[in-house]
Homo-oligomer: A and B are copies of this chain.
Amino acid sequence: MPKPVLTKAERIKARRAREEVNIFARMPAAYAASRGQAAKFLQRAGGLSVVEWRVLWDLSEAGPLSIREMASIQRVDHSQLSRALPGMRRKGFVTMERDAEDRRQMNVALTEAGRAAYAQAAPIMRKRREGLRRVFSAEELEQFAGLFDRLEEFLRQPVEDLLEEEKNP
């Protein structure tokens, strides 16, 4: 059998090594792992979905909010909340009413059941964050967040700008 310069295993290893420092390639895996871990914690804490948990958390901390306000806090598209909220209302976690002053807005507020669901999940989710803080120092977490800030800024740049930028450094 003709022997290639590199064996297949070596080529795979080289490819893996390159991808390891490719931030773009790392993100999906890290995100998926994070979401999976959150789902497992929530499973033990009353069976909330990730979206539901975020809604309960926001409403607990910031009081009644509109859909747009929640979407802004969570940095997600408002459609995600539009879709999740009717289910949460059906479960009795929240109330939704049109705002009296601006009838386009929905005022979303916690009910007692919502508060209880939050109270059940919160201590477990707190343990998750405490676990993270055992692995990363406060400075490291700040550094991590700073890197995310700059990354997001880069990611939101218009594509055209990036494709032409090398002309004027």
Contact = CB atoms under 8 A, between A and B. Distances in A.
Q: Work out how many copies of this chain go into the complex.
A: 2
Contact of A151 (B4, B30, B44): B30
B166 A73 contact: no
Contacts of A22: 129
A24 B38 contact: yes
A18 B38 CA distance: 18
Given A11-B62, A27-B34, A132 B154 contact: yes
Interface string A143-161: 1110110111111110100
Given A12-B73, A28-B75, A29-B76, A131 B148 contact: no
Given A24-B38, A74-B25, A144-B147, A127 B166 contact: yes
A53 to B, nearest CB: 11
A142 interface: yes
A97 interface: no
A145 B11 contact: no
Given A21-B145, A31-B28, A69-B12, A128 B162 contact: yes
Given A72-B16, A73-B16, A142-B21, A152 B37 contact: no
Interface stretch (A84-92, A109-117, A133-141): A133-141
A98 interface: no
A155 B24 contact: no
Given A16-B73, A33-B155, A136-B151, 8 more contacts: A11-B61, A16-B72, A19-B73, A20-B145, A27-B30, A36-B155, A37-B155, A41-B159
